[in-house]
Structure 1
Amino acid sequence: MAKRATLEDLKSRLDAIDKDIYPLLEAPKEVFSFRVNLHKASVKEVLELLKKEGLEPKATIFEDSFTLPLEDKSKLTHTLAYSKNYIYIQNLSSIFAANALDINPTDWVLDLAAAPGGKSLIFSQKAKKVSAVEPNRSRFFAMIRNFKEMGAKNILTFNKDGRFVYKATPKWFDKVFLDAPCSSESHIDIKEGITWWSQRRIYKFAKLQKQLIISAFESLKDGGEMIYATCTFAPEENEAVLDFLLKKYPTAKIVPIEHNLSNIKGGISSWQGEEYSKEVENSLRILPKDGFSGFFLAKIVKDIN
């Protein structure tokens, strides 16, 4: 029987990736974030409504996104703006990743592992059309309800296994977003322990992620761009998956993502004796701080040359 992983095992791994991660996971969360649902209201309208109810949201780097103290979360969910679906509670890391995809008004965007749908909703505010794919039936129907409540009318939904989508849509989409299922290390609550975390779990998800990133890249038009993202810190699920893609597809290029945030580090080019392409250093690892949860993302372009 395999030995159960301990917090010390986790700390040792995270310290080897970046010594800032574990202390930030231990630190109490002070704020949460939300964004204005532009399908139904303007930023000005929502801020005025919230001010009338005694809330003073703090601006972020995104014009439509704000933070509030964690103790105000219940109050926000009882406001008129929230009841009218003018507000969508979403972590800043997810908002950052969704906005890292450069979307044009004529684009058709594929969101390959879409539930609960928050990122698809961001895409729908910018793109002509969005295809949101989710294999789990209960999550799929909850996602449809979410889109309907938020007033998004340009999202097509598909209850399909994302690993095989490319077979029906080769080189079809202008932009692709893959927030891959992962070991979810950023969701670990140190105080509650890590009964569900293990290195075996990391390896299981890494296998799935490689299948999904193939489908995502094959579905992308020549000259298009995609984002690969996870909410875990494990290099096996992040840099190693990117390195796998680069080795399989010479047309895949990882390009820098511009930002001015202090809680973001570049990707690493080696891990536990494995050497990765230097290109993976263009990826970003977001540290859990100031309303951002732990996250990883990379922008990939399909070179036409």
Structure 2
Amino acid sequence: MQKIFEERINKINPEILKGLKEKKEFSFRINRHKADLKVIEELKKEGFSPNKVEWNKYVFTLPIEERKKITKSSVYTQNKIYIQNLSSIIAAISLDVNENDWVLDLAAAPGGKSLIFSEIAKKVSAVEPDKKRFFRMKRNFKEHGAKNIQTYNKDGRFVYKATGKMFDKVFLDAPCSSEAHIDGEVTWWNLKRVKRFSKLQKELLSSAFNCLKPGGEMIYATCTFSPEENEENIDFLLNKFSNAEILEINLPIDNIQEGITKWEDKEFNKEVKKAIRILPTDAYSGFFFCKIRKN
């Protein structure tokens, strides 16, 4: 499987394999429910020297060697900061949530993106099917002071049947084959896993789109590279829903690649080029996301 995995990744972008093995930094953001920018001075007093991220004043990085150390800091134990990957943060911010929005996070655990939305949105609904992950997520929200998040232990594939076209914004960070987390020997990955997740993702994507109000916007995301789990699913959505429109994403970073329109024997709708694949580097993990409007 190692050879197959590497061959597939190299077809997408040879830089990915190199990036998977280089983890120099980690990132965190200020939890605005409990703290503000003054928390950085507290961290400095505890011996840390956080680096600013240019695209958001509440997001910072530190050397990867300090990750364990910061979890023992008073700032962390008081839930004033939240450790979260830059790719996840920038994808969540790209949903452009505003103060009047009701946001659905359709596969929400552990809840980091819901927490980002809750700092701005009027209301957030967080859905998670796995019971253990669901209760950890609920605890996470409580500990971080988010009071505008509703939680549901439900299967996201069928949520639309209960809600209808209810939400202004939807975020779906879908369960996936997690290729972005492979940084050494390939053990648990295989093509059957990719195809199994691709089927599940299409069902979740359909549900997410059905939950959107007309004029609403959503983001579909994964932490994997396989086009079967990314571009193929966006192509599926465009074929299934004539009122789905892919939106441009303008990110202030360089380690990105546009969506691919051909993979092996398949050709996808040209609109999937508007999707973004974040390449792993420094504090960024590999990530794919696409922004969609319901017309």
TM-score by length of 1: 0.95
How far, CA to CA, are the matches of 2:96 and 2:57 in structure 1? 16
Asked if 1:262 corresponds to 2:254, the answer is: yes
Which residue is equivalent to 1:171? Answer: 165
Which residue is equivalent to 2:71? Answer: 77
Show the 5 A alignment for 1:1-305: 5=1, 7-26=2-21, 28-43=22-37, 45-60=38-53, 61-190=55-184, 193-303=185-295
The DSSP-based 3-state class of the residue aligned with 2:257 is strand
The letter for the 2-side match of 1:140 is F
1:75 Cα offset (Å): 2.1
Percent identity of the aligned residues?
Answer: 59
How far, CA to CA, are the matches of 1:256 and 1:21 in structure 2? 23
Tell which deviates more after alignment, 16-25 or 160-169. Answer: 16-25
How far, CA to CA, are the matches of 2:78 and 2:266 in structure 1? 51
How far, CA to CA, are the matches of 1:174 and 1:105 in structure 2? 11
The DSSP-based 3-state class of the residue aligned with 1:63 is strand
The DSSP-based 3-state class of the residue aligned with 1:105 is coil
1:40 Cα offset (Å): 0.2
The letter for the 2-side match of 1:218 is N
1:195 Cα offset (Å): 1.3
The DSSP-based 3-state class of the residue aligned with 2:193 is helix
Number of aligned residues? 294
The DSSP-based 3-state class of the residue aligned with 1:64 is strand
Runs of 4+ aligned structure 1 residues displaced above 3 Å come to none
How far, CA to CA, are the matches of 1:163 and 1:248 in structure 2? 16
1:74 Cα offset (Å): 2.1
How far, CA to CA, are the matches of 2:3 and 2:254 in structure 1? 27
How far, CA to CA, are the matches of 1:297 and 1:96 in structure 2? 10
The letter for the 1-side match of 2:32 is L
How far, CA to CA, are the matches of 2:249 and 2:133 in structure 1? 30
How far, CA to CA, are the matches of 1:90 and 1:241 in structure 2? 26
In the alignment, structure 2 segments of 5+ residues that lack a partner are: none
Query: Deviation per CA, 1:181-236, whole angstroms, max 9, x where unpaired?
Result: 0000000121xx11100011000000000000000000000000000000000000
The DSSP-based 3-state class of the residue aligned with 2:35 is coil
The letter for the 2-side match of 1:195 is T
How far, CA to CA, are the matches of 1:151 and 1:74 in structure 2? 23
1:113 Cα offset (Å): 0.1
CA-atom RMSD in angstroms: 0.7
How far, CA to CA, are the matches of 2:106 and 2:279 in structure 1? 24
TM-score by length of 2: 0.98
The letter for the 1-side match of 2:43 is L
How far, CA to CA, are the matches of 1:241 and 1:71 in structure 2? 37
How far, CA to CA, are the matches of 1:296 and 1:202 in structure 2? 15
The letter for the 1-side match of 2:247 is V
In the alignment, structure 1 segments of 5+ residues that lack a partner are: none
How far, CA to CA, are the matches of 1:272 and 1:71 in structure 2? 40
1:140 Cα offset (Å): 0.1
1:83 Cα offset (Å): 1.5
How far, CA to CA, are the matches of 2:220 and 2:79 in structure 1? 29
Query: Deviation per CA, 1:4-48, whole angstroms, max 9, x where unpaired?
Result: x2x22111000111121112113x3111000000000002x2111
